[in-house]
């Protein structure tokens, strides 16, 4: 599924990422790997676009597309500009999946704590029902995800408010340096949900891999680490849906992030097909 928007605007900045991934052959790679692919394009129909109205309209359309994929026994891989797309993807999943959130940032701001006003900085807060609860529930059909079913992976660029929030929250944080046994313990905790949603904001990767977007931060994960974690998750828990987000091709001057996205996309679809 392709959601080529960033902050309500189509095909600019990270909104160009989903289009670029497809143009450069992500779907061909997945087909070569033996998967049958169908591209579903998610578009906004609003006449007057605001960041918030477009974000949740896209989420509602995406939720319906994810539900349809489930009915057709197809695995939903979402290519989205923004992390707020997660609200729609999870709303479309059957039951209540746990959430594994690969991201340099925790996206745990709210309208009350955000200094930038940037909606993606509130994406995980929206998913757990801390903010935007009316529109996510009534317009998108989201059931807020309990915090004990959420794990942040590779997260290192947090503001003070987010740090304090995490101190008192059951959300698990696995920093880039975390051990295999920490991942095992986390999966043990998440598997009671019966399924997981894997969210990969590509800025989780270390800048030595390449540049995903304008918000990249040092001390991130290597591609091999992300791939091996996804592989272990898929071996243990069925993957209900996944997303690759926040890729801005205009800052990826070498194309190395494109290659990383291909490898992670392939790892996700391979891992998801284990239980299908
Ligand atoms: Mn993010």
Q: Does the structure show a pLDDT above 80 at 9?
A: yes
**2-275: CATH topology:** 3.40.800
pLDDT for the residue 274: 87
Binned at pLDDT 50, 70 and 90, residue 275 comes out as confident
Q: How far apart are CA 197 and CA 218, in angstroms?
A: 25
Decide: 214 and 164 in contact? Cβ < 8 Å.
Answer: no
Q: What percent of the chain has pLDDT over 70?
A: 100
The rounded Å distance from CA 120 to ligand 1 centre is: 6
The rounded Å distance from CA 107 to ligand 1 centre is: 6
The rounded Å distance from CA 176 to ligand 1 centre is: 16
The rounded Å distance from CA 112 to ligand 1 centre is: 18
Name the residue with tokens 């998750």: 233
Using CB atoms within 10 Å of the CB of residue 149, give its burial: 0 to 12 exposed, 13 to 18 middle, 19+ buried.
buried
**Each residue's pLDDT tens digit, 190-226:** 999 999 999 999 999 999 999 999 988 999 999 999 9
Name the residue with tokens 């490898």: 263
The rounded Å distance from CA 103 to ligand 1 centre is: 5
Q: Does the structure show a pLDDT above 90 at 241?
A: yes
Q: Give the domain ranges of the chain.
A: 2-275
The rounded Å distance from CA 3 to ligand 1 centre is: 15
The rounded Å distance from CA 248 to ligand 1 centre is: 13
The rounded Å distance from CA 104 to ligand 1 centre is: 7
Name the residue with tokens 């578009």: 43
Mean pLDDT, the chain, whole residue set: 97
């Amino acid at each position: 599924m392709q959601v080529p928007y960033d902050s309500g605007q189509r095909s600019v900045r990270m909104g160009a990422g989903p289009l670029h991934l497809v143009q450069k052959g992500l779907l061909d790679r997945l087909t070569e790997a033996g998967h049958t692919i169908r591209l579903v394009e998610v578009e906004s129909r609003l006449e007057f676009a605001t960041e918030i109205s477009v974000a949740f309209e896209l989420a509602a359309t995406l939720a319906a597309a994810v539900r349809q994929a489930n009915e057709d026994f197809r695995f939903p891989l979402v290519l989205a500009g923004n992390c707020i797309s997660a609200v729609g993807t999870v709303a479309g999943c059957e039951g209540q999946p746990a959430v594994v959130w690969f991201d340099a940032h925790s996206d745990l701001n709210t309208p009350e704590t955000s200094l930038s006003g940037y909606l993606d900085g509130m994406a995980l807060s929206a998913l757990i029902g801390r903010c935007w609860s009316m529109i996510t529930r009534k317009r998108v059909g989201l059931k807020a995800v309990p915090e004990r079913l959420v794990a942040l992976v590779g997260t290192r660029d947090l503001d003070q408010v987010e740090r304090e929030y995490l101190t008192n929250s059951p959300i698990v944080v696995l920093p880039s340096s975390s051990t295999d046994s920490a991942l095992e313990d986390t999966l043990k905790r998440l598997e009671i949900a019966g399924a997981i949603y894997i969210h990969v904001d590509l800025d989780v990767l270390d800048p030595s891999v390449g540049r995903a977007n304008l918000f990249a931060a040092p001390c991130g994960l290597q591609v091999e680490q992300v791939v091996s974690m996804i592989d272990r998750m898929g071996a243990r828990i069925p993957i209900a849906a996944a997303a690759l987000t926040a890729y801005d091709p205009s800052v990826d001057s070498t194309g190395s992030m494109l290659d990383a996205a291909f490898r992670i996309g392939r790892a996700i679809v391979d891992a998801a097909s284990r239980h299908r």
